[in-house]
Amino acid sequence: MSRLRITYTGKVQGVGFRATAASIAAGFEVTGWVRNEPDRSVLLEVQGDDAEAKAFRQALRARMTGNIKGEAELPVGEVRGEVGFEISR
């Protein structure tokens, strides 16, 4: 089990990125959240089995490929008891 914080840059706000991430996450055994940042990036945290989290990130990247110009990921501590994946505001 691992947790990653990923910052996406490019044209990632105003294009349904957060809703797309939440929709895709529903198909994987992952938890976490996604939110818009004031600098026009999108911040996402995803937690789960390494293979599931990787597959989720690949599916999101494939769906939003024309919008994502950069990705920066950072391992962060696991959040115990977290349930589901949500859009944070």
Helix extents (H) in 1-89: 17-25, 50-63
- Provide the β-strand partners of residue 71: 8
Please pick, among 18, 40, 57, 67, the residue that the annotation labels catalytic.
Answer: 18
For residues 58 and 39, give the distance between their C-alpha atoms in angstroms, rounded to a whole number.
24
Q: Is position 18 annotated as part of the catalytic site?
A: yes
Residue whose entry in the numeric block shows the structure tokens 């991430």: 21
Please pick, among 5, 35, 36, 63, the residue that the annotation labels catalytic.
Answer: 36
What residues are labeled active site? 18, 36
